[in-house]
Amino acid sequence: MPTTPRPHVIVVGGGTAGLASAWQLARRGAEVTVVDPRAAPHDEGSHGGFTRVTRHAYHEGSSYVPLVREADQMWCGLESEPGALLVRTGMIEIGPPDDLDFIGVLAACRDFDIEHRLLDASQLRAEYPVEIADHWQGCFTPSGGYLRVGACLPAMREAAQAHGAEIRTGTRAVAIEARKVVLEDGQLEGDAVVLAAGAATPRLLPDPGVALTPVRRVLFWVRPTSVPSTLPVWGVMAHGGFFYGFPSGDEGIEGFKVACHASGTIPGYDDAIDPATLDRSLRPGDWAPIEAFLREFLPTVGTDRVAHRVCMYTTTPSWDFLVDRHPTVPGLTVVSGLSGHGFKFAPALGRLVSDLVLDDAAPQPEFAWARHG
């Protein structure tokens, strides 16, 4: 009896979304070839900074909660031992009770029965080194924590290779056509192509029809004056933006990691950048909002800056992901627009990609091309 040939899928991009897609496609029996100029992790991608937050109480939208739970299980299943990839510290999110994001956190906890504890301002001050207004509240979720980027990416790569995927580094894609990838040193043809090239995706995307904008973000580490040992992973919905950070430690760089995810008040924060000419030096305006935040909300931590790293987000106008088949290029599936909150979802996004490519499944509505086009 003749056997059905394995579909050959070319994955452009060997970073977060590319390795997750390769893993899930190869796991399901596809012949997979991944092409990327460099082996991840590295400093030139969107996955820099050593750690990424994971959280279940998702204020960005209820559709994310089942997906992050699925990804959580997949990360844990990929671990050689508990905590090797996902460190479960819990997460405290703090903000005024009328803040839309904080309302979204509580709604997610309520609607999906996420274990949580609501704290008032006096309880927050007693448990954590925070200075906040008397009407502010906090929501602690034990399911929160962080992912170790430097372990997660190799784990996905090894899982993909264990299922037969070929990972080619040192080669750069210059164009994508129907079921074909043009490389600097030749071309590859297959049954399908997955474009998962991070900030390079807008440059490679044929017939775009959708706005994908790379933006610049700066991560900071400070040497704390007083080590905030009680703080787990945390987020604060402040008037200047959504600030977040990690427990003080030595994950990649020793210190207290802090950054601003999104802001409507920092000038030029979401201006488009060219990934090829990304400015990785520290600009005068980069540190100022972080310093002001620390002085106001975490004054005992101090502002002794010891290091910084520059990474990129690739954003859609809604900041929802794009995971769908291209509407006019046959055989092309695109996974992009992870918008700085996609790393935690990587294994589940890879599963969505495999469903699109191998099963001709319908896209998740929030991530569909029609939503972004």
Tell me, yes or no, whether 354 and 230 share the same domain: no
**At 60, is the secondary structure helix, strand, or coil?**
coil
Answer whether residue 3 is part of any domain.
no
Tell me, yes or no, whether 325 and 366 share the same domain: yes
Pick from 274, 276, 222: nearest CA to 249: 222
Tell me, yes or no, whether 333 and 228 share the same domain: no
Place of tokens 């927050």: 124
Tell me, yes or no, whether 221 and 197 share the same domain: no
Q: Which of 266, 299, 315 represents a domain boundary (last residue)?
A: 315
Tell me, yes or no, whether 139 and 221 share the same domain: yes
Q: Is the pLDDT of residue 33 over 60?
A: yes
The one-character DSSP state at 40 is S
- Residue 261 identity: H
Answer whether residue 68 is part of any domain.
no
357: its two tokens: 């490519």
Q: Which of 284, 299, 315 represents a domain boundary (last residue)?
A: 315
Residue 356: which domain range? 8-48+149-211+318-372
Query: What pLDDT score was predicted for residue 4?
Result: 60
Task: Report whether 318 contacts 369 (CB < 8 A).
Answer: no
Backbone torsions φ then ψ of 166, nearest 5 degrees:
-100, 125
Question: Which CATH number goes with the domain that contains 199?
Answer: 3.50.50.60
Answer whether residue 252 is part of any domain.
yes
Query: What pLDDT score was predicted for residue 45?
Result: 74
Query: What pLDDT score was predicted for residue 3?
Result: 52
Cis peptide before 41 (omega within 30 of 0): yes
Query: What pLDDT score was predicted for residue 41?
Result: 80
- Residue 288 identity: A
As a whole number of angstroms, the distance between CA 235 and CA 245 comes to 7
Answer whether residue 198 is part of any domain.
yes
**pLDDT, mean of residues 261-290:** 93
pLDDT more than 70, % of the chain: 99
Tell me, yes or no, whether 42 and 174 share the same domain: yes
For residue 124, name the pLDDT band (cuts at 50, 70, 90): very high
Answer whether residue 61 is part of any domain.
no
Tell me, yes or no, whether 217 and 278 share the same domain: yes
Q: What is the DSSP string of 237-254?
A: EETTEEEEE--SB-SSSS
Looking at every residue in the chain, the average pLDDT score rounds to: 95
- Tell me the pTM: 0.96
324: its two tokens: 């769908």
> Beta 51-54 vs 145-148: how paired, if at all?
antiparallel
Q: Is the pLDDT of residue 99 over 70?
A: yes
Question: Which CATH number goes with the domain that contains 269?
Answer: 3.30.9.10
Q: Is the pLDDT of residue 60 over 70?
A: yes
**pLDDT, mean of residues 324-346:** 96
Tell me, yes or no, whether 298 and 311 share the same domain: yes
Positive or negative, the CA dihedral 320, 91, 51, 14 is: negative
As a whole number of angstroms, the distance between CA 244 and CA 227 comes to 16
Answer whether residue 72 is part of any domain.
no
Answer whether residue 227 is part of any domain.
yes
How many domains in the chain? 2
Q: What is the DSSP string of 292-330?
A: HHHHHH-TTT---EEEEEEEEEEE-TTS--EEEE-SSST
